[in-house]
């Protein structure tokens, strides 16, 4: 017998369940408990960058919106820098931007929204330029382990065409499942997205 390796095993995932709001967004569960709450608004008045709204739904295998889903997003700032010590790239940090938010879908419509800024392009370890994107993590009743995906931006065609992650997606027709569509409503920039859990338009999910 060789020597044993002594790594521990990761704790198994379990569904967040239908009442995930109690712990993570108590106001949505119907009560007020914490002095400070996390939210779907990532910006303050002093945050640098173009203000955008991300707006979308998560659909089940019948095309019905999930009305009890919770999304978290994690993104770089307008200069392409993540607010984390492991990002040692050259872009400037923005102290007024953590780069993270969470949102529960509306209990009637299933709509999920985030008010944030458009992230800058990111330089990866190999020095390649990566298209601006937002990392998305999805949990809900019926989802046994959180789903990882990304949102890219429809007005970044050239950057998207050269993005090393988008270019991994085969067949290429599936790449469009990761692109949010830019539009304008009442003077605000809105990027719309649809995350399909199943079906011919199933969104690309990542094993990160």
Partner 1 sequence: MNAQAPALRDPRLNRPEPLTPPLGDGGFFQRDRTIHPPAHAPGYKSSVLRSPRQSLLSLENSVSEITGPVFGHNDLGPLDNDLIRNYAKDGDPVGERIIVHGRVLDETGRGVPNTLVEFWQANAGGRYRHKKDTYLAPIDPNFGGCGRALTDDTGYYYFRTVKPGPYPWRNYVNSWRPAHIHFSVFGSGFAQRLITQMYFEGDPLIPVCPILTTIPDKDALDRLVAPLDLNASTPFDSLAYRFDIVLRGQRSTYFENRTAGN
Candidates 76, 67, 84, 56; CA nearest to 177 is: 56
CB of 167 to partner 1, least distance (A): 11
Burial of 50 (0-12, 13-18, 19+ CB in 10 A): exposed
Burial of 42 (0-12, 13-18, 19+ CB in 10 A): buried
Candidates 78, 84, 17; CA nearest to 42 is: 78
Query: Stretches 43-51, 145-153, 154-162, 183-191: which one binds partner 1 (CB under 8 A)?
Result: 145-153
**Residues between 65 and 104 with contacts to partner 1, criterion CB under 8 A:** 66, 68, 72, 74, 76, 82-84, 86-87, 89, 98-100
- Residue 95 vs 183, nearer CB to partner 1: 95
Dist. CA 199–CA 208, nearest whole Å: 22
**Residue 206: both structure tokens together:** 């990542």
- Residue 52 vs 119, nearer CB to partner 1: 119
**Residues between 163 and 182 with contacts to partner 1, criterion CB under 8 A:** 165, 168-169, 174
Candidates 66, 54, 70, 58; CA nearest to 21 is: 70
Told to check if 115 binds partner 1 by CB under 8 A, we report no
Dist. CA 38–CA 103, nearest whole Å: 9
- Residue 8 vs 186, nearer CB to partner 1: 8
**Residue 30: both structure tokens together:** 């119907």
- Residue 47 vs 184, nearer CB to partner 1: 47
**Residues between 180 and 199 with contacts to partner 1, criterion CB under 8 A:** 197-198
Site string for partner 1, 1-40 (x = CB under 8 A): -----xxxxxxxxxxxxxxxxxxx-x--xxx-xxxx-x--
**Residues between 124 and 143 with contacts to partner 1, criterion CB under 8 A:** 124-127, 130, 133, 135, 137, 139-143
């Amino acid at each position: 017998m060789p020597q044993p390796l002594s790594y521990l095993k990761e704790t198994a995932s379990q569904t967040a369940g239908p009442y995930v709001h109690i712990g993570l967004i108590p106001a949505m569960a119907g009560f007020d408990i914490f002095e400070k709450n996390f939210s779907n608004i990532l910006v303050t008045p002093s945050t640098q960058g173009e203000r955008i709204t991300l707006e979308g739904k998560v659909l089940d295998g019948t095309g019905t919106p999930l009305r009890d889903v919770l999304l978290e997003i994690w993104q770089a700032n307008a200069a392409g820098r993540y607010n984390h010590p492991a990002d040692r790239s050259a872009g400037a940090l923005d102290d007024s931007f953590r780069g993270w938010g969470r949102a529960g879908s509306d209990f009637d419509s299933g709509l999920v929204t985030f008010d944030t800024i458009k992230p800058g392009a990111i330089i990866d370890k190999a020095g390649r330029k990566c298209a601006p994107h937002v990392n998305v993590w999805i949990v809900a009743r019926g989802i046994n382990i959180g789903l990882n995906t990304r949102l890219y931006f429809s007005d970044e065609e050239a950057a998207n065409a050269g993005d090393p992650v988008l270019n991994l997606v085969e067949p290429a027709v599936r790449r469009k499942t990761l692109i949010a569509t830019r539009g304008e409503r009442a003077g605000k920039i809105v990027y719309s997205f649809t995350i399909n859990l199943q079906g011919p338009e199933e969104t690309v999910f990542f094993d990160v």
